[in-house]
């Protein structure tokens, strides 16, 4: 009670920090750390390398940042129709070298895993 300004400033600081933390968790650009599995409409007709790529898309955490058919995170671009926008070579380059906010995966994925991911993503049209 002897220092009302100090108590007020400390109280305001706690409220401000709490509000910013809540806003950060609710931000639409945040990664989704608990995404739903890829929709059956996306995975039902996949076979071989493309099916392995769809599985890798989930297990390697790509779905945490990228949307496909409305499921996933919103940090990266929506990949629902990526196969009609970019070539397989461009996809390979982006996966291996990264991009603006995307890390490079050249040291985290084997060549056959990259091929499987590119095959899966190329079929999304």
Place of tokens 């009670």: 1
At 97 the pLDDT is 96
Low-confidence ranges of the chain (pLDDT < 70): 1
Q: Determine, yes or no, domain membership for 35.
A: no
Percentages helix, strand, coil for the chain (3-state, rounded to 5) are 55, 5, 40
Residues 65, 98 share a domain: yes
Q: Tell whether 103 and 59 lie within a shared domain.
A: yes
- List, in sequence order, every beta strand (DSSP E) within 1-125: 67-68, 71-72
> Residue 78: what pLDDT?
93
Range of the domain at 7: 1-28
Number of domains, the chain: 2
* Same domain? 14 vs 62: no
The pair of structure tokens assigned to 41 is: 């409409």
């Amino acid at each position: 009670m002897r220092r009302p300004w100090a108590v007020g400033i400390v109280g305001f600081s706690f409220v401000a920090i709490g509000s910013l933390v809540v806003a950060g968790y609710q931000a639409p650009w945040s990664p989704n750390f608990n995404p739903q599995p890829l929709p059956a409409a996306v995975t039902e007709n996949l076979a071989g390398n493309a099916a392995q790529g769809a599985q890798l898309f989930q297990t390697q955490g790509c779905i945490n940042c990228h949307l496909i058919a409305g499921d996933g995170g919103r940090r990266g671009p929506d990949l629902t129709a990526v196969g009609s926008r970019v070539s397989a070579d461009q996809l390979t380059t982006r996966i291996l070298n990264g991009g603006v906010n995307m890390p490079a995966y050249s040291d985290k994925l084997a060549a056959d895993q990259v091929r499987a991911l590119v095959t899966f993503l190329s079929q999304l049209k």
